[in-house]
Amino acid sequence: MKKKLILIALIIAFVGSLIWYALPTGMPAGDLYFKDIGERELQQDEIGQFNYVYDQYLKLGITGDEFSEWDEDQQLLWRYGIAFSSYAMPSIVMISDEYGNTAKKAMKIMIEKMKSRKVWGDWIDYGMGDDPISEGNIMYKGHLNLMYGLFQLISGDTTFAREYTWMTERIVDELRRHHKEGKHEGADCEPGRYFAQCNSISLMSLKVYDKLYGTNYLKEEGSWTLDFIKGKMTDEESGLYKSMYNSDMEFSDPYLTGYTNAWTMSFLQAFDKDYNQNLYPTWKDKFVIDYGPYASVREDLGAGPSPLAHMTGLLAAKEFEDVELYTKLRNSMDRRLYQETEKDFRKYEGINNAIYNGPILWTKVHMGWDKILEHDWGHENLHSIPDVSDMLWTDILDKNLMLKSEN
């Protein structure tokens, strides 16, 4: 009888351990990440991740052009890691008075690191041009421009106002020139290569600029880009966004990817809500893999999941207020979370910390673009447009060129 009881106890313990391992235990309820301002609080995982991200950038803020411990094999992705991390900061300011000033400080450091030659230097090193921000390269300058705008929006600080205005005018000039030429609308990413997701970033930067300065760039020049993407870069059958437009040969590659659509939908719904909200279920049906309490996102229709697809899937689920899918994607991600309790840091194992930890924090805290743009930031939004007639691109990035020559 005693042996039988021991056996039963062992079986119960074994089954219990299987259930504990299989189920997402010990995590905040998914709906807590979707509470409105006034009810929303930072969860312990968000606080731990923010502490880790802020500590990393605090060190980067005093090391010039250096990126200690960043994976140089993935250097071309650094711009996205920095930019996506910075997009978390407005929501943290909205949610938490305690962490708000720290988030503003972090965003300012992120802007300075974004201007490092190690982040944008590939444009020159790969022979794409001698000027990395006046023409093309929207996959870099679109992010930097949006970072400028969001920092000024949440803080009222005009430190980067001239750079923001100069860059905005360069983007608008490019949109006007392409419109006049009639070849395509929007801005190129690389010579001959045009991505909807990168143009969606520049459009958001124009939307913020219009809000801060009372201009009308989005309604005028921005509308050309939106119409072009919808008319030339969507799949006829599904409506999903195609991966790339070949601007030199004037055709769209037919490939559909999970991350391209998650990213593009999440930004463009701020401009065309109905289309993108109707597209979201199609994206889920084609790219989401469901595992009961877990889920992941396919890289493309014929492939399995990837970290980038998963991260942008989290963003899409948050932007479209899909609590169920967000919770499942969060469950899958946070099974890999560990905590260094001595500093209350939390970070992810097995992925590049610099590229993914900050962006994943963004998907957790993100309040939605409409709420960010409509929020009362406690200062006068409308600013006077600064004079930038005497500025050159080297007034923004020249310091980093000198650093390269010294090395």
pLDDT of residue 4: 57
Q: Position 262: which residue type?
A: A
Q: Which residues face 246 on adjacent strands?
A: 193, 251
Burial status of residue 125 (CB atoms within 10 A of its CB: 0-12, 13-18, 19 or more): exposed
Helices 138-155 and 78-86, packing angle to 10 deg: 20
> Which contiguous run of DSSP H or E holds residue 226?
helix 223-232
The mean per-residue pLDDT over the stretch 268-292 comes to 96
What is the Cα–Cα distance from 74 to 77, expressed in whole angstroms? 6
Alpha carbon distance 344, 282 (integer Å): 39
| Predicted pLDDT of residue 23 | 65
* Residue whose pair of structure tokens reads 């920095």 in the numeric block: 82
pLDDT given for residue 13 in this prediction: 41
- Closest to 257 (Cα-Cα) out of 200, 221, 209, 297: 297
Domains of the chain: 43-64+72-406 (1.50.10.10)
State the Cα torsion 199-203-209-215 to the nearest 10°: 120
Find the radius of gyration of the CA atoms of the chain.
22
pLDDT at residue 368 is higher than 70: yes
| pLDDT value at residue 394 | 95
Q: Which of 135-144, 163-172, 212-221, 397-406 has the lowest mean pLDDT?
A: 397-406
Section 46-55 average pLDDT: 94
Burial pattern 350-371, b for ≥16 Cβ within 10 A else e, equals ebbbbbbbbbbbbbbbbbbbee
pLDDT, tens digit, 9 for 90 and up, residues 298-309: 999 888 899 899
The residue whose two tokens read 């943290």 is: 92
Confidence band, pLDDT 50/70/90 cuts, at residue 117: very high
Confidence of residue 39 (pLDDT cuts 50, 70, 90): very high
Instruction: Specify whether the CB–CB gap between 267 and 369 falls below 8 A.
Output: yes
Mean pLDDT highest for which of 50-59, 331-340, 377-386? 50-59
pLDDT for 279 equals 98
Lowest mean pLDDT among 15-19, 42-46, 244-248, 282-286: 15-19
- Two tokens, residue 3: 């042996």
pTM reported for the whole predicted model: 0.92
Q: Work out the angle at residue 91's Cα, subtended by the Cα atoms of residues 86 and 97, and round it to the nearest 5 degrees.
A: 110
